[in-house]
Amino acid sequence: MKCRRCENKASIHMRQHKLALCKEHYLEWIPEQTARFIKKYEMFTPDEKILVAVSGGKDSLSLWDILVRLGYQADGLYLGLGIDEGINYSHESQRLTEKFAKENNLKLHVVDIEKEYGNSIPVLADISYRGHGKPCAVCGLAKRHEMNRIARDFGYDVLATGHNLDDEAAVLFGNTLNWSSEYLIRQGPVLPGSDGLARKVKPLCRFYEREMTAYAIMRGVEYIYDECPFADGSQSIFYKETLNQLETTRPGAKLIFYLNFLEAKKSGKLFIEKNERQSQLHPCPKCGQPTSTPDFCSFCRMIEKAASEK
């Protein structure tokens, strides 16, 4: 297959976009699309200071790389969680993040949770749950708190995270299965700031995980391949696998799931009150049944259309 923009052999084929690109053009396409999403969702402007939360993984390091390539003022924040189980996760992810910052001459804030607060995340979790359960809730809480603190203390306008489409679709899937309306209302590419809370943005939210992996590899970004050992067997991984199965038979299913949700949310009709909805109904002039469509109800329209085409 050939690249859509030149005659060279394509390095990646994105079925859901019906688009194939060579390495050179793919490395152009990703920042172009990111710039488009930043504008479309009004994430930030060129004069705002951005703090990128970097974990040493492919998404956050690539996000940092893309923002810098686009000319934004983006500094990094690495949180040392003290997770040294198995592969020495924290140590290795910090090493790769610092290496990236150094090689690209970028400013990186490093906060070591244990040095700052006396205990690492696994220890804090052990204390909180008396040795039972995964540390993820404690970890999430600490991450949100520290990201916000650094953003506030150093005067950043916005906090950017590397969540990709697979992450967002999995969260949306989980929230939908549980009908967690409060979370559904808050989910989106931008979470506006409020008093003391920095605005949060997800510029990669429309890229598939596989697209981000391809970007990191083609760009030569050195990242940590392994996930945090505590991510193993998590619900979000199960949701991701389920959505991937769907995607295999219906290319684009994940993207449609997420984008249609954003559309529905934007239109304000997602959680419309029952009474409000009823007041928008009127009787169909033909059959008298309540309908929201102007004029005839959908059923009567269908019958009319069929009759007229006979």
Question: Residues interacting with Zn ion, by CB under 5 A?
Answer: 3, 5-6, 8, 22, 25
Task: Judge whether 159 and 151 are in contact, CB under 8 Å.
Answer: yes
Nearer to ligand Q46, 86 or 288 (CB): 86
Instruction: Report what 25 binds from Zn ion, ligand Q46, none; CB cut-off 5-8 Å by kind.
Output: Zn ion
Nearer to ligand Q46, 4 or 134 (CB): 134
- Closest by CA position to 75, among listed 85, 90, 64: 64
Site string for ligand Q46, 225-244 (x = CB under 6 A): ---x-xx-------------
Q: Does 139 bind ligand Q46 (CB under 6 A)?
A: yes
In the complex, the smallest distance separating the C-beta of residue 25 from Zn ion, rounded to whole angstroms, is: 4
Nearer to ligand Q46, 11 or 60 (CB): 60
Nearer to ligand Q46, 139 or 170 (CB): 139
Measured CA to CA, the distance from residue 91 to residue 82 in angstroms comes to 8
- Closest by CA position to 228, among listed 85, 80, 59, 61: 85
In the complex, the smallest distance separating the C-beta of residue 126 from ligand Q46, rounded to whole angstroms, is: 12
Instruction: Report what 280 binds from Zn ion, ligand Q46, none; CB cut-off 5-8 Å by kind.
Output: none
Instruction: Report what 139 binds from Zn ion, ligand Q46, none; CB cut-off 5-8 Å by kind.
Output: ligand Q46
Give the Å distances, CA to CA, from 69 to 62, 63, 91: 10, 10, 27
Nearer to Zn ion, 19 or 35 (CB): 19
- Closest by CA position to 161, among listed 153, 174, 171: 171
N-term to C-term CA, the chain? 45
Nearer to ligand Q46, 111 or 136 (CB): 136
In the complex, the smallest distance separating the C-beta of residue 12 from Zn ion, rounded to whole angstroms, is: 11
The residue count for binding ligand Q46 (CB under 6 A) is 8
- Name the residues that contact ligand Q46, by CB under 6 A: 83, 135-136, 139-140, 228, 230-231
